[in-house]
Every structure is written in structure tokens, then in C-alpha cells.
Amino acid sequence: MIENKKAAGLAPQAVLWVLLLTMPYWIGHVGGYTDLASRIIIIGLVALATNLMVGHTGVMAFGHAAYFGLGAYATGLTLKYLMPSTPLGMLVGIVVGTLGGAAVGYLIIRLRGIYFALATIAFGQVFYFIAFRWNSVTGGDNGLTGFQRVPLHLGFTQIDITTHSTTFYYFALAVFAVCALLMAIVLRSPFGHTMRAIRENQRRAQFLSIPVSKHIWIAYTISCFFAAVAGSLYGLLNNFVSPNDLHWTLSGDFVLMAVIGGMRTFWGPLLGAAIFVAAQDYLSSITQNWMFFIGMIFVLAVLFLPRGLAGVLQKKAS
């Protein structure tokens, strides 16, 4: 019985990875393109990062766009002003985004509920207005331009991610796979079990001598780390960064993706991100009111699929 359940759980994951590995070759046949596939992977990663807080820790966080944008801006600024090196740009972007998340998290860890959510929005908007107003460095409302991703030099070979969209997709997929593995390790660790204990009942977790505030801060920092990785990849994908990449409404989109896909599942946010990004790309090309239809998808998911699409699929598989 146990072996059958494990096999049933592994089969959907195998299908998922087959779809991801072959996406550049079939997405064109359904009206997409390779850069759209890369966007799905990258936005899926930050949706998974948001779900670490919202779904697995039970803490409402609406500010992950700040660390997503910080990672993108730091990567772009490094490539433009410091050194044209993709690994260095990503490293700086990840460090800046993670440190920003750690600093903000330390300041707000004692807040709970709606106050925590509002604080994440407020601090996120601080970063947004800095990027919006600092014209001489960030480009202000026009965004950061004048940089581009450069080939990866591995010593024995060179990987050209500049001109080949498919090559960049597989580079982003490799980073995504490493991050997904790290998330799985965190969630299966004793720390991951304390995250779920905090989600179920914070007061009871405190009675069990779990330092709730400290664990929320660590979880928040880890979550911001993955958001910064996604932001760095997003800056490299577009060779452009906009202040909108820091705006709180984008953070709301990340939460929406997690809800549509399934907050208490691991892969649900990726599924939600795929639906959101694909629908946005298609609907925005035919109407300016595309958010209305995204909102309808969200409402229908909340009313009829409270566990998200992934939750329904898991129930059918079992």
C-alpha cells in the first residue's frame, strides 16, 4: 500500500519534469514561445518562494516583489557598472535580495496577521519608490537599460545564453531545479516541520518551546533568497528592469498564483504561475482589461477549488 502511494506520488512529478524538459519544443504548437516558457519557470520559482511563507508557514506576506525586484536591479547594475559577468551579476543580485529580506524580516517578525502583511507591503513600497525616484542610477520610471546577459565561461567550455532563447531556458530550468531541490530539503527537515506547526497553531508551537518569531524570520529570509534568485533570472531574461518589478501589486500576483495552484502543495504555485503567465500573455494581446479575466479565474478557484488545482489533482491521483 505504501509503495503504491509513493508510486502514485512520483508519477505526476515525472510527468511534470518531462513537460518542463521538453517545453521549448512543444510550446510553439500551443501558441507560445520560448521566452514565455522561461517566464513561466522564473515566475513559478518566485511563486514557490512566496508559498513557503503563505502556504507552508501560514504567514501572509505581500512584499516578495521587493526582493524579486532587488535581485533583478542588483544583477542589472552589476552587469552595467561593475563587470559584465553573468555569474557575478547573479551572485550580487541574490545577496542583495536576501539581505534586504533578512533586514525587513528582522524588523517585522513580532507582527502578526494583517499587521505583518501590511508591513511587508509598506517596506516593499519603500524599495519601489527608491527605484522610481533614483533616476541617475536606476533609470527611474524608464527602467534600467544598457546591460545584457553575457555567455557563461566554464573554463573548459562556453555556454551562449545571449542569443539562443532555448539555451537560456535550460539555464533557468537548471537553476529552478536546484532551488526546488533546496526547498524540498528545507520542507522535509525538522525546520520544515516547525514551519507547518507554526502554520497550524502558533500559540501551541510556542507552548512546545518553538521560538516562533525566530523561525518566521528564518523562513522569511529563505523565502526572500529564492525570490531574489528568480528576480536575478528575470533581469537576465529581459535585459531590462522596471520599477513595476518591485510594486506590491506584483506581490499580490504571486500570492494569487499560489492560491490558484494550491497553497498547501509543493508544485501548486508553479501550476498557478503557468496559468497566470500564459493567460496574461494571451489576454493582454487582445484586451486591455485582461486583469478582469484573471480576477475571474481567482474567484472561481476560491469558490470551487479551495485546495487549488494541484490539490484536486492530488485527490484524484490518490
Residue-by-residue pLDDT tens, the chain, 318 positions: 445 555 555 777 888 999 999 999 999 998 899 999 999 999 999 999 999 999 999 999 999 999 999 999 999 999 999 999 999 999 999 999 999 999 999 999 988 888 999 999 999 999 999 999 999 999 999 999 999 999 988 777 788 898 889 999 999 999 999 999 999 999 999 999 999 999 998 888 888 888 999 999 999 999 999 999 999 999 999 999 999 999 999 999 999 999 999 888 999 999 999 999 999 999 888 888 888 888 888 888 878 877 788 777 766 655
Is there a domain that residue 189 lies in? Answer: yes
* Residue pair 281/275 in contact by the 8 Å Cβ criterion: no
Strand 152-153 relative to strand 158-159, pairing: antiparallel
Largest CA distance in the chain: 63
Is there a domain that residue 163 lies in? Answer: yes
Cα dihedral 126, 241, 232, 28, rounded to 10, equals 130
Count of alpha carbons within 13 angstroms of residue 145, beta-carbon side: 4
Distance in angstroms (rounded) separating the CA atoms of residues 244 and 159: 30
The whole-model pTM stands at 0.93
**Total domain count, the chain:** 1
Distance in angstroms (rounded) separating the CA atoms of residues 22 and 135: 41
Is there a domain that residue 109 lies in? Answer: yes
Is there a domain that residue 158 lies in? Answer: yes
pLDDT of residue 113: 85
Distance in angstroms (rounded) separating the CA atoms of residues 278 and 168: 19
pLDDT of residue 312: 72
Is there a domain that residue 286 lies in? Answer: no
Residues 22-48 as b or e (16 or more Cβ within 10 Å = b): ebbeebeeeebebbbbbbbbbbbbbbb
Is there a domain that residue 242 lies in? Answer: yes
The sign of the dihedral angle between the CA atoms of 206, 208, 209, 210 is negative
Choose among 280, 291, 254, 281: nearest CA to 269.
254
Residues 238-274 as b or e (16 or more Cβ within 10 Å = b): bebbbbebbbbebbebbbbbbbbbbbbbbbbbbbbbb
Is there a domain that residue 239 lies in? Answer: yes
pLDDT of residue 2: 46
Q: Which three cell numbers stand for residue 93?
A: 543580485
Distance in angstroms (rounded) separating the CA atoms of residues 245 and 219: 22
Residue range of the domain that includes 40: 32-246
Is there a domain that residue 141 lies in? Answer: yes
pLDDT of residue 214: 94
